[in-house]
């Protein structure tokens, strides 16, 4: 069954949609993400990305008189959390009209929704508190389960929604940019062959063994994983995922320059064009200890091979990898201009024993770049 009715409430209803139709895809394409006063953008390859999730993605769709008013996507996956695997669900593709969004939330935790009430809004929020309701899988509550979401720190409505649904703030992360006006190839950097990917997957799992929320689900997307070898051995690697945004606003003085002034400069337009911001996502970064200075060389070669001038990645801002890259002067002009606000990781734990969730608060969070594409 491609659609299943979950809630009927007067003239409103929520359906679980396993195969998104053109109406859902169109709504997501038209949605401007972000918050007032922060970075605002829309994604330009939504349909392609939805297909890439395959059967792992379902939607909860809100209708009024059979007219689509909003959706929430639920991505089912397995995550590795300090060496322990857990069934997980990542929430994305949130697009809900303002009339159905939550009001300003009180500060007290007791105001979180601990049980579904009679209002339709409460019924919707209750759906993303229960893994079985959210995923549509019957036996998902029989083992520990993690539901999580990335929320912009300035997006008060989204923070209110996850707070009122019982999610807790876990970690924070920041955007890191790489750019080159004229990227050059490097003979030491090659694209992995498909048969080499399983060995690389093992290296990545070991590299991220102290992280939570790690997944290699899209590390080898479209078989575009590049490695840098020294003396025949892999010392650094990264997955390349092409992406495209239409940027509506970038906050701050630098944002004004990026949006209004610098795009008029031919050289800078190679790095950033608001109306068609083309970049490559750096996903599943790997680096052997002591080879951190080689990462900009790897990123530049990837940009050259893929035909891009700009790359982005998202990293836990208390991780060693973030410290290595954010302050590296070889990351390029765009990284020095970037004044991105933190993203926040929120999570809801089901079926965990007392103390078992501490690792999520204490360990760096792996941020999947694919989930931003």
CA angle 223, 228, 229 (to 5 degrees): 115
Considering the domain delimited by 3-173+347-372, tell me its CATH architecture. Answer: 3-Layer(aba) Sandwich (3.40)
More confident residue, 322 or 98: 322
- pTM comes to 0.91
Cα–Cα distance between 66 and 15 in angstroms, integer? Answer: 10
Kindly report, as residue ranges, where domains of CATH 3.40.630.30 are found in the chain. Answer: 3-173+347-372, 175-343
pLDDT at 210: 97
pLDDT in tens, 123-181: 888 889 988 888 888 777 778 999 999 999 988 888 998 999 999 999 999 999 999 99
DSSP E strands, 206-268 = 225-230, 233-249
DSSP state of 303: H
- The percent of residues above 90 in pLDDT, for the chain, comes to 71
Mean pLDDT of the chain: 90
pLDDT in tens, 81-127: 999 999 999 999 988 765 555 444 455 444 443 343 357 778 888 88
Q: Which residue has the tokens 């992995």?
A: 192
Residue 173's H or E segment, with its range, is: strand 168-179
pLDDT at 138: 75
| Stretch 210-219: mean pLDDT | 97
SS3 track for 84-124: EEEEEEEEEEEEECHHHCCCCCCCCHHHCCCCCCCCHHHHH
Q: With 60 as the cut, is the pLDDT of residue 355 above it?
A: yes
**What's 175-343's CATH class?**
alpha beta
| Stretch 303-330: mean pLDDT | 96
Q: With 80 as the cut, is the pLDDT of residue 227 above it?
A: yes
Q: With 60 as the cut, is the pLDDT of residue 225 above it?
A: yes
| Stretch 314-320: mean pLDDT | 97
Provide the b/e sequence for 110-140 (b: ≥16 CB within 10 Å). eebbeebeeebbebbbbbbbbbebbbbeeeb
pLDDT at 126: 87
pLDDT in tens, 4-36: 888 888 888 999 999 899 999 999 998 999 887
The region, left, alpha or beta by phi > 0 then psi within -120 to 50, assigned to residue 17 is beta
CA angle 354, 355, 357 (to 5 degrees): 105
pLDDT at 110: 42
Helical H runs in 208-347? 252-256, 266-269, 295-306, 320-326, 333-337
């Amino acid at each position: 069954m491609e659609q299943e009715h979950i809630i009927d409430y007067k003239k409103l209803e929520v359906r679980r949609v396993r195969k998104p139709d053109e109406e859902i895809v169109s709504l997501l394409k038209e949605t401007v993400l972000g918050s007032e006063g922060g970075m605002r953008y829309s994604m330009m390859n939504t349909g392609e990305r939805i297909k890439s999730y395959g059967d792992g993605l379902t939607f909860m769709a809100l209708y009024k008189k059979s007219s689509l008013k909003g959706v929430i996507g639920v991505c089912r996956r397995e995550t590795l959390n300090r060496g322990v695997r857990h069934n997980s669900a990542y929430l994305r593709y949130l697009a809900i009209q303002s009339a159905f969004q939550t009001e300003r939330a009180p500060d007290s935790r007791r105001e979180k929704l601990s049980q579904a009430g009679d209002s339709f809004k409460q019924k919707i929020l209750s759906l993303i508190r229960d893994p079985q309701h959210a995923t549509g899988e019957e036996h998902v509550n029989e083992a520990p389960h993690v539901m999580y979401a990335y929320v912009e720190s300035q997006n008060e409505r989204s923070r209110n929604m996850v707070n009122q649904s019982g999610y807790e703030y876990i970690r924070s992360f920041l955007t890191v940019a790489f750019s080159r006006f004229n990227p050059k190839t490097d003979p030491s950097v090659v694209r992995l062959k498909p048969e080499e990917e399983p060995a690389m997957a093992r290296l990545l799992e070991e590299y991220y063994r102290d992280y939570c929320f790690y997944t290699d689900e899209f590390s080898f997307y479209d078989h575009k994983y590049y490695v840098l070898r020294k003396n025949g051995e892999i010392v650094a690697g990264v997955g390349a995922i092409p992406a495209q945004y239409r940027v509506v606003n970038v906050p701050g003085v630098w944002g004004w320059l990026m949006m209004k002034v610098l795009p008029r400069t031919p050289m800078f337009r190679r790095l950033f064009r608001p109306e068609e911001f083309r970049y490559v996502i750096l996903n599943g970064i790997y680096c052997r200890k002591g080879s951190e200075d080689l990462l900009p060389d790897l990123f530049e070669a990837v940009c050259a091979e893929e035909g891009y001038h700009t790359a982005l990645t998202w990293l836990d801002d208390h991780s060693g990898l973030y410290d290595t890259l954010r302050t590296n002067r070889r990351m390029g002009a765009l990284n020095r201009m970037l004044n991105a606000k933190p993203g926040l990781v929120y999570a809801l734990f089901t079926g965990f024993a007392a103390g078992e969730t501490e690792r999520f608060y204490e360990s760096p969070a792996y941020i999947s770049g694919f989930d931003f594409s």
